[in-house]
Amino acid sequence: MTGRGYERIAFVASGADDAREARATLNTLYDGVPVDQADVVVALGGDGMMLLTLHDVMGRNVPIYGMNRGSVGFLMNDYREEGLRERLAAAERTVIHPLTMRARDRDNKVHVAKAINEVALWRETYQAAKFRIEVDGKPRMPELICDGVLLATPAGSTAYNLSAHGPLLPLASPLLALTPISPFRPRRWRGALLPDRAAVAIDVLEPEKRPVAAVADNIEFRDVKRVEIALDRKTNLVMLHDAGHGLDERILAEQFGW
């Protein structure tokens, strides 16, 4: 699906010198406006900058077009200064939804955060963590011993999920990836594919002895004892990619890469 013309463009940049220099140049070339006045936001940096920008505009329905001035750039378009308005007008729109994480800590305080890529639970000390996993209120795994466990969206399936040997998910697939991190017991459990309407609850077993942190993208809460996760279908996040180079194509190409 292609986009429309965008007149008011805001440029945001990571702290990298290349990104800041690009923002200054593009602001001059295209009369950049503040983010709160923009029809579209151009994020300059790497994938981390794209995620940060998506979090910053969450709930405003402003599309984000990333250009790579970082080191990875899986979510980004190639950087070029010329023809930006034409690229934006022809860009393919991808709509994604974040996860909502509700984490209860050992003091019974509830922390809520959104995750575009994944919600991950990690051991805080040298001892392995122990978890119990429920899906839609039904116990599915009474005990998982591992370094951690994560629930990833299709957009996030190429990030930590892939590094933890989780599956790559086509962007339009109605699925979430539940992936263990360095599982010890059951040793051969590789995770599960869940429908994206599923509600997942993860209880931390022995939380005093084996403390665990819960992380929604880069938002961390420590010493949690129960984490509930579900897809937030009411929140739409729009990313723009050059025609023929959208996330679906990149995820497909990743599966045939060497």
The predicted-structure confidence for 145-155, as pLDDT tens digits, reads as follows 999 999 999 99
The reply to whether 257 sits in an annotated binding site is: no
Amino acid identity of residue 164, one-letter, is A
The reply to whether 61 sits in an annotated binding site is: no
Name the pLDDT band for 61 (thresholds 50, 70, 90): confident
Q: Give the CA distances from residue 60 to residues 27, 38, 40, in Å, rounded to whole numbers and listed in that order.
A: 22, 11, 11
The reply to whether 161 sits in an annotated binding site is: yes
Give the active site residue among 47, 107, 203, 223: 47
The reply to whether 36 sits in an annotated binding site is: no
Check residue 3 and give its pLDDT. Answer: 44
Q: How far apart are CA 120 and CA 34, in angstroms?
A: 33
Give catalytic status of residue 47 as yes or no. Answer: yes
pLDDT in tens, 211-249: 999 999 999 999 999 999 999 999 999 999 998 766 677
Q: What three-state secondary structure class fits 147? A: coil
Please report the sign of the dihedral spanned by the C-alpha atoms of residue 160, residue 111, residue 130, residue 125.
positive
Check residue 258 and give its pLDDT. Answer: 52
The reply to whether 117 sits in an annotated binding site is: yes
Check residue 187 and give its pLDDT. Answer: 85
The reply to whether 7 sits in an annotated binding site is: no
151 Cβ neighbours under 8 A, 6+ residues apart:
99, 118, 119, 120, 176, 177, 178, 179, 194, 200, 229
